[in-house]
Amino acid sequence: MTEAATEEGELVARILRHGIERPQDVALVCGPEALTWSQLREDVLGVAGAIIAATGPEVGRIALLGTASTGLAVSYLGIVAAGGCAVPLPVSAHPDALAGMLADCEPDLVFVQDGYQSLLKPDHPGRAVVLDAASRTGLPAAFLECGQPLAEAVVPAPETPFNIIYSSGTTGRAKGIVHSHSMRHRQAARSLFGIDGSSTMLLATPLYSNTTLMPMLAALFHGGRVMLMPKFEVEAYLDIAERERVTHTMLVPVQYRRILAAESFARRDLSSFKVKQCTGAPLPAADKREILARWPGRFVEVYGLTEGGCTCILDLAAFPQKAHTVGRPAAGNEIRVIDDEGKDVPRGGRGEIIGRSATMMSGYFRNEEANAAFQWRDRDGTLYHRTGDIGMFDEDGFLVLLDRKKDMIISGGFNIYASDLEEKLLAHPDIAEAAVIAIPSEKWGETPLGLVVARDGRAVEPDALLTWVNGQVGRTQRLAAVELRPELPRNNAGKILKQDLKKPYWEKSA
């Protein structure tokens, strides 16, 4: 194994070196709990030793069930330090979907944050270990005392699984996305976001989300302090950001909107911020401009997949006129737009976005059918990832997202892009959120329906809104109706769950 390859198995070992180099500096914080670098090193290696004693030297997959805590983060790192594969599971999943994920990954152990034991079915695979909030490591003393702390983290081959992240599982079987040590190391080692030993990264999404894990690992790799929120609350977030002089954050769009809408936002001193990242779902151009205008520091939108292979970066301050795009391909990413026949579409033409890079998942765990559907190869056999997104490159090489391929509506033989209509709805001053879905139509096969949430205190008349929107689009693009909703369902990354919205309409017509 070459020296460079060995390094790509050393992510956790590299993180733990900070415990020797700067032992008394604070490394990890969640609520009232804080760990110095020396404590983080000691705890992770202690957890790793206990895991090996419990499972044997060949550590397999170990699941984690919870939201965010220092104990959960230490357990995640401890699993990997023991040479195992961490499998953080979403507490937001339906119990049946969660049971399916556990049956799929077959963990040896399940570390459960106290309060979430009821999510486990009695016959779940793996021995459950309930985390102890009073324990600094999170694991019960009786479990830890069974093993001896490791001297150093295990350094496996670069392609060894680091973790498995499951998709939301809102429709069909949830897919386990396998990230290798090599992939995680390359992601964490990037210098793109200016993280160093003086940085403080504030994260407010759950630990089972890649939106949390990727920046957390990057910050720890570079020696930055990581602050986790057990639950996102706007004022609590702003309190921490102001008090702790936070420099970096990663948020999803709905969190940005709630923070900007906070009554106290204008009074806050957020001048310490250097970089704010956004990912998980498209952010409207108007919101991006507002963040740039009102919140100090760079604003960087990151378009990509948990599966990897297709990342675009928009540094809005550098390209303010490109707020409607998700930026250009990040260094080392080859991104193409192809038609239904697999041919490249010229700039300005619409097609499916595919991509490849040095940070690509190993594949979906035990799911060759899903791998075959997700992977695309060119004539030379070069592997690309399908995004399922429809987009186009503009004249300057910036990527414009147009729709999800599965969300495109074919009405009377015409292609209707839901995002085009959503953009019109969101341009109305009384509308806060909007989603356009396909519903059954005897005449057209399917037709677009607009679902909207009104801004606080605004009265919206659906028929008037329908007339307003349809007056701005072509005859074949018109909405069939508009419905007012109190809220739209979203997953933990802030994406609107369109399949949940569509389901009752299609079941009714079956």
pLDDT tens sequence across 191-210: 989 999 999 999 999 999 99
Q: What's the one-letter identity of residue 50? A: A
Going by C-beta distance under 8 Å and a sequence separation of 6 or more, which residues neighbour residue 118? none
pLDDT tens digits for range 243-274: 999 999 999 888 998 999 999 999 999 999 99
Q: Enumerate the domain spans of the chain.
A: 1-20+35-188, 190-303, 324-403, 408-509
Going by C-beta distance under 8 Å and a sequence separation of 6 or more, which residues neighbour residue 350? 337, 390, 391, 392, 402
CA gap 332, 314 in Å, rounded? 15
Tokens 């001297």 correspond to what residue?
A: 151
Going by C-beta distance under 8 Å and a sequence separation of 6 or more, which residues neighbour residue 427? none
Q: pLDDT at position 170, please?
A: 40
How far CA 108 is from CA of 90, 347, 373, 405, in Å, comes to 18, 50, 30, 38
CA gap 58, 108 in Å, rounded? 11
The closest of 106, 111, 56 to 78, measured between CA atoms, is 111
CA gap 354, 351 in Å, rounded? 9
Hey, do 1-20+35-188 and 190-303 end up sharing a CATH topology, with the first three levels equal?
Answer: yes
DSSP class of residue 429 equals T
CA gap 101, 347 in Å, rounded? 40
Give the residue ranges of the chain where pLDDT is below 50.
1-4, 169-171
pTM over 0.75: yes
Under CATH, which number does the domain 408-509 receive?
3.30.300.30
Hey, what CATH class is 1-20+35-188 in? alpha beta
CA gap 303, 296 in Å, rounded? 22
Tell me which architecture the domain covering 190-303 has in CATH: 3-Layer(aba) Sandwich (3.40)
Q: What's the one-letter identity of residue 412? A: G
CA gap 72, 310 in Å, rounded? 29
Q: pLDDT at position 359, please?
A: 96
Other Cβ atoms less than 10 A from the Cβ of 304: the count is: 24
Q: pLDDT at position 1, please?
A: 45
Which tokens in the block code for residue 285? 């151009």
Under CATH, which number does the domain 324-403 receive?
2.30.38.10
